[in-house]
Amino acid sequence: MRIGIIGLPSAGKTTLFDLLCVAGGGHVSQHGTHEPTIVVVKVPDARLDRIASIFKAKNVTPSTLEFVDFVALTRGAASGGGLGSRYLTQMRQVDALLHVLRDFEEPGIAHVEGKVDAARDAVLVNTELLLADLDTVEKRLGRLEADLKKMKKEEEAVKELELLRRCRNWLMEEKPIRDLPLSDDQVKLLRGFALLTAKPMLLLLNISEGTLGKPNSVQERLQRALGGAAVAAITLCLKTELEVAQLPGEDAEVFRKDLGLQADGFVEVLKACNHLLGLITFYTGEGGVETRAWSLPVGATALKAAATIHSDLERGFIRVEVISGKELEAAGSMAAARKKGTLRVEGRDYVVADGDVILVRFNV
């Protein structure tokens, strides 16, 4: 899964990216001078470690998330002006957006809008995304309407026309597509347009160290301004989180306690992204060679899990043997679980649960 990091200049995007690199042991890549920077982050997983110890695995492979750091957006980006406008098309290729919002004063760093106001910035960027989507929808509508005048009105084309008109009206009311009630078929039809406001969004409020642990009314304003389906918000002091991430483990824990930090900010970001994307984790590993964590959408079947591991497993799928991670830990081994009867046999339509350990049986 790919998460795009967006925001105005000097909001803390680079600090977040550095945190992901340092804390996540990420592999960083950049394809070309003018391309966004990408980091693939390993997701910390205590369950994976425990399951790997049961399997006595030689290799342990965590699940990963990919973060794409885009150039900062500015007012007018949707119409081709300002920073970040050339990256709007690339932003369409991510699965979710992570919007970093500045909520700290720094005398040496001017705010591009003149004054620090995170709620205003959230609306500003959201407006640019809305305008970019409106442009996409209107262009497609223009082509579709012209085509329908020349040819027979096919049912699918008429359905698309009606849906895009709904989308245009919705966007003109300054509402994101993620909040538009849609059927499964309509969601599938819109997927090809990769509309920016249809994507889940995580709002990361970047505060100063001096406001840690204090009430923050900005988050309430964010919820009023942008709250809705598939939008979540977290609050972090990214500068402090990066400093802590660079300390040895014991020193980091002491520093966290002194600051009153209840959780690891890096982990909080990953948890929020997984939740926003609707992902669960399942595990494979019998045989002692590799124990691995895999991400899967909530509600996905055993057949989809098999396809996630390898397309050959999907094609030759017979069944899966399934046990929850807790049941495996209680049994101590797969062999003991078989004897206890906690290792189950399931078919292709079995809905995978978070924490399941799966063995796929298939024809070669």
- 8 A C-beta contact, residue 277 and residue 43: no
Do both 23 and 106 map to the same domain? yes
How far apart, in whole angstroms, are the C-alpha atoms of residue 4 and residue 94? 6
For position 177, which CATH number holds? 1.10.150.300
Average pLDDT, the chain: 89
Q: Specify if 18 maps to a domain.
A: yes
pTM, two decimal places: 0.89
- Domains held by the chain: number: 3
Do both 234 and 339 map to the same domain? no
Do both 183 and 332 map to the same domain? no
236-258, pLDDT tens digit by residue? 999 999 998 888 878 888 888 88
Do both 79 and 137 map to the same domain? no
pLDDT confidence of residue 145: 86
- DSSP-derived pairing of the beta strands 2-6 and 279-284: unpaired
Do both 74 and 206 map to the same domain? yes
Q: Specify if 164 maps to a domain.
A: yes
Sheet-wide strand order for 344-346: 59-61, 290-297, 279-284, 356-362, 317-324, 344-346
Q: Specify if 289 maps to a domain.
A: no
The average pLDDT across 297-310 equals 96
pLDDT confidence of residue 30: 60
In our burial notation (b when 16+ CB lie closer than 10 A, e otherwise), range 5-14 reads bbbbbbbbbb
Query: SS3 string of 217-241?
Result: CHHHHHHHHHCCCCEEEEEECHHHH
For position 91, which CATH number holds? 3.40.50.300
**Partners of 96 in the beta sheet?**
3
Choose the final residue of a domain: 173, 197, 221.
197
Do both 203 and 177 map to the same domain? no
- Per-residue pLDDT at 29 exceeds 70: no
Q: Specify if 51 maps to a domain.
A: no
226, two tokens: 């942008």
The percentage of the chain sitting over the pLDDT mark of 90, rounded to a whole number, equals 66
The average pLDDT across 67-75 equals 89
- 8 A C-beta contact, residue 277 and residue 200: yes
- 8 A C-beta contact, residue 269 and residue 236: yes
Do both 11 and 100 map to the same domain? yes
Q: How many CA atoms lie within 13 A of 259 on its CB side?
A: 22
- Per-residue pLDDT at 33 exceeds 60: no
pLDDT confidence of residue 218: 83
323-336, pLDDT tens digit by residue? 999 999 999 999 99
262-302, pLDDT tens digit by residue? 778 899 999 999 999 999 999 999 777 899 999 999 999 99
Q: Specify if 171 maps to a domain.
A: yes
60, two tokens: 């342990």
Instruction: Quote the longest CA-to-CA distance of the chain.
Output: 72
Q: Specify if 118 maps to a domain.
A: no
Do both 193 and 329 map to the same domain? no
The average pLDDT across 113-136 equals 92
Extract long-range pairs of 276-281: CB within 8 Å, 24+ residues apart: 276/96, 276/200, 276/201, 276/202, 276/230, 276/232, 277/1, 277/3, 277/95, 277/96, 277/200, 279/1, 280/352, 280/353, 280/354, 280/355, 281/43, 281/45, 281/47, 281/48, 281/63, 281/354, 281/355
Do both 108 and 22 map to the same domain? yes
359, two tokens: 């063995």
The single-letter DSSP state of residue 301 is B
How far apart, in whole angstroms, are the C-alpha atoms of residue 194 and residue 212? 37
For position 354, which CATH number holds? 3.10.20.30
Choose the final residue of a domain: 216, 243, 277.
277
143-194, pLDDT tens digit by residue? 988 888 777 667 788 889 999 999 999 999 999 999 999 999 999 999 999 9
Do both 95 and 71 map to the same domain? yes
Phi then psi for 6, rounded to 5 degrees? Answer: -130, 170
Do both 14 and 95 map to the same domain? yes
199, two tokens: 């994507």
Do both 105 and 211 map to the same domain? yes
Q: Specify if 354 maps to a domain.
A: yes
The percentage of the chain sitting over the pLDDT mark of 70, rounded to a whole number, equals 96
Choose the final residue of a domain: 197, 228, 252.
197
Q: Specify if 330 maps to a domain.
A: yes
- 8 A C-beta contact, residue 263 and residue 337: no
pLDDT confidence of residue 248: 84
Residue range of the domain that includes 259: 2-44+60-113+198-277
Q: Where is pLDDT greater, at 137 or 213?
A: 137
Q: Where is pLDDT greater, at 251 or 123?
A: 123
